[in-house]
Amino acid sequence: TSVGALHNCTGIGTAMSDRDFIYVCRPQLPEADDITGYLRTIDARRLYTNRGPLVNLLEERLAREMDAPRHCVHTASSGTSALEVAILAHAGLATPERPLALIPSFTFAATGLAIERCGYQAHFVDIDPETWAVDPTALTRHPRLAEAGLIVGVAPYGVLPDIAGFEALQRETGVPVVIDAAAAFEQVVTRPAPISDTVPMTLSFHATKTFSTGEGGAVIWGDRPGQDRVTQVSNFGFFLSRECKVAGTNAKMSEYHAAIGLAMLDAFDTRKRDYAAVTRAYETAAQGHDLGGRLHLPGRVSSAYALFEAETAEGFLAAEAHLLERQVETRRWYEAGQHAQPHFAPAGSDPLPATESLSARLLGLPMAHDLSPTDVTYIVECLSEAAARTRPLPVMLD
């Protein structure tokens, strides 16, 4: 992800050579003064990792944010490691009888890489074009279900899938389900339903996410014995002894990363208000413009994203090219789908019409908590200009 600074914005209508580049993503973690008190705690206790007091405090505070019991939150060193340990704790390693993991292609590469680390072979499935997520009911009839030892649902761009549907899918088929909800921190905090007792969900706290520890993640799961297995898997397979009893790894969050997360929680209400203001700026700027598509903004998606869904693939390419020409960075966050990534080319796949259509039309726009209204208006006007360029000329009649 590109990270850059935006200085001396000169406003709409300024010559391109005089305008600073607008980056698609500009993370900002707590500043040094905000973290100092937590760092002094680390210095005094000389506990730096291995589930120290700051990690435990962060988990307690996160559980309160989610209105969940304390045991429901277990941190990890990254979002990818959280997904790996959730898979190992819930489904275990792949077996020769059930080597497959059914996963959507419409996701980030970490999803497929995590299942491979647990021994599974990816088999890509399509998404519902409206929800962008896998329909769990459809998977009950999947022709390769008998070969699957794991099903991974995804919360695309932080949009939570049908959790109850995935719980039912797991109950009816006996195939363990894990939800990769990397960007869904806000949605997990605000969702009215309780944390699932049967299906673990994983979050990423990467710097690009709305809540961040710099690098980190968490397993969110109401199953207390399951979370004990998460603890064991995260610590080399050790649990209440130094014997490696299960397949494990080192996925523990450090005290330093927990310090960043605690400082971020201290000011998170302000950060949420800032994101809401940028969202309103996008909504206001888009009024009255024909963009050749529609915006998907926080509320539906995570506040880490502002997305433009073009009506056509041609409109997508025109918008992408025009924005870059006008000094605005964009991002194909999921590329063309993971089935199109070279590493995953040998993987099995269903027909993927919805994935291929949406991937060819969905463009990531700049989003940051301090993105100025002037820059938001400029971005939207650039989209409108691109749409005007691709609109067919009217036919002149004699």
What does the pLDDT look like over 48-73, one tens digit per residue?
999 999 999 999 999 999 999 999 99
Tell which residue, 75, 385, 88, has the closest CA to residue 259. Answer: 75
Longest C-alpha distance within the chain, in Å? 89
Task: Identify the weakest region by mean pLDDT among 12-26, 92-106, 311-325, 340-354.
Answer: 12-26
| Residue in the block written with tokens 């206790």 | 45
Residue 9 — very low, low, confident or very high, per pLDDT cuts 50/70/90?
Answer: very low
pLDDT at 17 over 50: no
- Given this model, what pLDDT does residue 18 score? 55
- Given this model, what pLDDT does residue 398 score? 55
Verdict on whether the full-model pTM lies above 0.75: yes
pLDDT at 170 over 70: yes
Mean pLDDT in residue range 117-131:
97
- As a whole number of angstroms, the distance between CA 342 and CA 338 comes to 9
- Given this model, what pLDDT does residue 193 score? 84
Mean pLDDT in residue range 219-247:
95
pLDDT at 237 over 80: yes
What is the dihedral angle through the alpha carbons of 131, 275, 80, 197, rounded to the nearest 10 degrees?
-60
pLDDT at 14 over 60: no
What backbone torsions phi and psi does residue 179 show, to the nearest 5 degrees?
-105, 120
> For the purposes of burial, counting CB atoms within 10 Å of the CB of 8, is it exposed (0-12), middle (13-18) or buried (19 or more)?
exposed
- Given this model, what pLDDT does residue 396 score? 61
Rounded alpha-carbon distances, angstroms, from residue 151 to 70, 164, 181: 26, 14, 14
pLDDT at 394 over 70: no
pLDDT at 148 over 80: yes
pLDDT at 12 over 80: no
- Given this model, what pLDDT does residue 19 score? 67
Radius of gyration from C-alpha coordinates of the chain:
22
- Given this model, what pLDDT does residue 2 score? 39
Query: Average pLDDT of the chain?
Result: 93
- As a whole number of angstroms, the distance between CA 22 and CA 241 comes to 52
Q: What percent of the chain has pLDDT over 70?
A: 93
Residue 397 — very low, low, confident or very high, per pLDDT cuts 50/70/90?
Answer: low
pLDDT at 15 over 50: no
Residue 169 — very low, low, confident or very high, per pLDDT cuts 50/70/90?
Answer: very high
- As a whole number of angstroms, the distance between CA 348 and CA 344 comes to 9
Residue 240 — very low, low, confident or very high, per pLDDT cuts 50/70/90?
Answer: confident
Task: Identify the weakest region by mean pLDDT among 11-20, 45-54, 120-129.
Answer: 11-20
- Given this model, what pLDDT does residue 191 score? 86
Tell which residue, 109, 45, 26, has the closest CA to residue 259. Answer: 45
- Given this model, what pLDDT does residue 282 score? 98
Mean pLDDT in residue range 259-271:
98
Mean pLDDT in residue range 325-351:
97
Region 32-265: CATH code: 3.40.640.10
Mean pLDDT in residue range 288-292:
94
Show the CA angle centred on residue 163, arms to residues 267 and 193, nearest 5°.
55
